[in-house]
Structure 1
C-alpha cells in the first residue's frame, strides 16, 4: 500500500468530515451530524453521509495504488441497515480495498459501534491533484443551514432541480465531489417522494458518475419514479450539464 497524503476539500469542511487516517487495512474517518443534514422528510438524509463514504472508500482505493496515484469514483453504493440517528451524533467510517485501485468496501457506524450503513465504490486511477492549488484554496465553514437542500443550494426550476457546482463543493481535482452529487440526487428523490405524499425512508442509494462535472457548472436533476408503492419506492435521478448526462442515481425507499 502507498503511504497516503490526505488533501482537504470544501465538502469535507462543509459536511464536518475530519480525522481521515490510514489504517493497517485501509482508511478511517469521522463525521459529526448536524441539523443541516435533514432531508425533506425531516429525517437525516442518507445523502448527508455521501462525503464521508466517498472519502474513506476513495482513499482506500488510493492506498492500494502505486505511490502518488489518485482515484476518482465511478460508482458509489450506500445501503442503510439500521435507523439513522439525529443531530449531534459522531459517526465513524472505515473502508478497505478489495480489488487494487478498482473496488473498495466500507461501513459507517455510530460512536457505540452500531452498524448504520454498508457502502461500496468503484473507481479509476487518475493523476494526483496539484497540491499547491489545493493548499491555496480558501477554507470553508461547516454547514449552518437547516436542511440538506439549503446546504447544497438546490433550487427548483421548470426543467427539474438545479445544483450550482460552487467551488466549495469540488474535490481536490476541481470537479464536483462524488459525495456531493450523491447527496443532491438523494435529496431531490426524497423531496419528490414527499411531495407525492410518501412517508417511506431512503434505504439505498446507487450513483454512477458518467463524466466529471467541473466547478462552476450547473447540474439539472431530472426525477422519474419507476415504482411508487405503499411499502416500496424506486426513483431514478439523472444529473445533466448542458444536456449531457453526468450522473445516474437509483434511490430506493421502504
Structure 2
C-alpha cells in the first residue's frame, strides 16, 4: 500500500534545485520499499551523461535509508555506486526507480535499488551506504520549499565542460556550490556529485581512448561540500586498454581538503 511522499510520516520529500534540474518529481513509499521517477531528456543523452540518473538514485536510496533511521535522525551518504547496464532514454519518457533497505543498525544502513526505462527495461543498478546523524534538514532558509532561481542541466554542463581541460588522461574543473545544487542539509547533492564525477571521468577517458562507455561508478563521500564553497574535481585515467579504462576522480573543497573519491570504469560497448 502506497503512502504519501514522506518517510514514515517523519520527513517530507521537498524537491530542490537538483530535482527540478533533472525532472525528479515523485517519491512514494510502500510496504516493499520506495519508488521514485524522473523525466528523461537531453541531460540523459549519450554515454557521458549516464550518471544523469544520480539524483534519482540518491533520492530513492536516501529516503529509503531515512525511513529506517532512528527517530529524529537523517541519513547522509558515505558511499553510492551505480552499475550501468543499458543506455538511458533521452526522449522525454519517464524513468522509474525502486529501492529497499537491506541492512540497518542504530548508526548506519545499506539500501539497494534498480532503475528502469518507461518500457520496464533495466538501465542501472544502485547501492548506497548511509550514516545516521542528528540533523534538521532545511530548504531555502527553512521555508520548506525551493524558490529558485534554478539553472538548467545544460547551463551547468556548459559551465563545467567549458572549464574542464583534458590532457593525456587527466581532466579538472572548479564549480561554486550554489543553492540550486544542494540537498536539504545545504551541501552538494550526492546525486549531483555522481553526475559531475562521471562527466569529468568521461572527459578524461575521451582524451586517451575512444568508443568506451560507462560501466560503473562508485563515490565515497568523505566530507560535505557546503553551499558557498568551491568544489574542484580532478580526474585521472589510472589504467586503460583497448576495451577497458579505470579513472579516479577526487573532489577538493576550497580549503584543499578531500571531500569525495570516486572510481569510474568504462568498457567497450556490447
Q: Fold conserved (TM > 0.5)?
A: yes
The reply to whether residue 174 of structure 1 matches residue 186 of structure 2 is yes
Return closer, same or farther for 1:223/1:67 CA change in 2, 3 Å cut-off. Answer: same
What does 1:56-205 correspond to in 2, within 5 Å? 56-100=60-104, 101-126=108-133, 127-130=135-138, 133-135=142-144, 137-141=146-150, 143=152, 145=154, 149-150=157-158, 155-156=163-164, 160-205=172-217
Cα distance in 1, alignment partners of residues 117 and 159 from structure 2: 23
Q: Which runs of 5+ in 1 are unaligned?
A: none
C-alpha deviations, 1:9-51, integer Å up to 9, x for none? Answer: 211111110111112122111111111334xxx4361211100
**CA-CA distance at 1:90 after TM superposition:** 1.1
Cα distance in 2, alignment partners of residues 85 and 137 from structure 1: 27
Cα distance in 2, alignment partners of residues 98 and 229 from structure 1: 36
Cα distance in 2, alignment partners of residues 183 and 134 from structure 1: 27
**CA-CA distance at 1:246 after TM superposition:** 0.3
TM-score by length of 1: 0.90
**CA-CA distance at 1:85 after TM superposition:** 2.4
Return closer, same or farther for 1:205/1:133 CA change in 2, 3 Å cut-off. Answer: same
TM-score by length of 2: 0.85
Cα distance in 1, alignment partners of residues 118 and 21 from structure 2: 21
Q: Which runs of 5+ in 2 are unaligned?
A: 1-6
What RMSD, in angstroms, separates the aligned Cα atoms of the two structures?
Answer: 2.3
**CA-CA distance at 1:206 after TM superposition:** 0.1
CA contact (8 A) 2:48 2:199 kept: no
- Corresponding residue number in structure 2 for 1:250: 263
